[in-house]
Amino acid sequence: MKLGILRTGAPPRGVDGFGTYPDMFRRLLGEDAYDYSVFAVDEGQLPSAPDACQAWLVTGSSSGVYDGTSWIGALMGFLNAAKGRAALVGVCFGHQVMAQAFGGQVIKSPKGWGLGEQTYDVVRREPWMDAVPQIRLPGSHQDQVVEPPPGAEVVAASDFTPFGALAYRDQPAISIQLHPEFEPAYAIALIENRRGSRLSEEEADRAVASYQGPDDRARVGGWIRNFLDAHSAGRGR
């Protein structure tokens, strides 16, 4: 299966040794699981056609969907062109930009930062999911989906993030606000990079402490693979 990774951001300067966001997704999903192609969307590079790959994965970014930059508008146009022609997966910014592109709303939340390991309740089990009541994953966001687009249903959420994971009924598409691709060491390095600037000492300490227990990165990575493989089987490899 051809999986195109739409890169929309990069680790900040000073957080080294973990690779790019596409690298993180390849490690999560399996280096040999798919025929990967990477497109630097944040630098203006878009695929030649929405069906050039069987599926597209939109990464995280430090940008906001409301920033008004040209590449974000171009990405939303591409996602609309790809609707129904390829499977879509969005993570963090990818979750937000998909919602915004398809008619939802995203804002910088007055609730502030969602940091550290976050727990979502599974509110609707999809065929690509196994039976668990909750998932726990790294989080790092200020923006939130506050109105899901038509055709999208919530599959996992928390009180802090009520629209935390969506499954679309009008196209093969799923998205999640949390970061299954973030290894705990990277997530902690990211927090330390922002300590004292974007994050207070108290916020940073609390977020770092949350990484002492296990999480569901492998499980949710498996969910994404199940979704992609089911779409591939339906369309032929």
Among the listed residues 53, 181, 183, 231, the single catalytic one is: 181
Report the relative pairing of strands 87-91 and 55-58 from DSSP bridges.
parallel
141 is catalytic: no
Cα–Cα–Cα angle for 178, 58, 110, rounded to 5 degrees: 45
**No. of helices (H) and no. of strands (E), the chain:** 6, 11
Q: Which CA distances in Å does 174 have to 57, 155, 170, 197, 206?
A: 10, 9, 11, 33, 30
Give dist(CA 189, CA 181) in Å, integer. Answer: 14
Q: How far is CA 103 from the centre of its chain?
A: 18
Among the listed residues 95, 141, 179, 231, the single catalytic one is: 179
53 is catalytic: no
Among the listed residues 92, 141, 183, 231, the single catalytic one is: 92
Cβ-Cβ contacts under 8 Å for 111 (sequence gap 6 or more) = 144, 160
Give dist(CA 159, CA 25) in Å, integer. Answer: 27
Burial class (CB in 10 A: 0-12, 13-18, 19+), 27: middle
92 is catalytic: yes
Q: What is the set of active-site residues?
A: 92, 179, 181
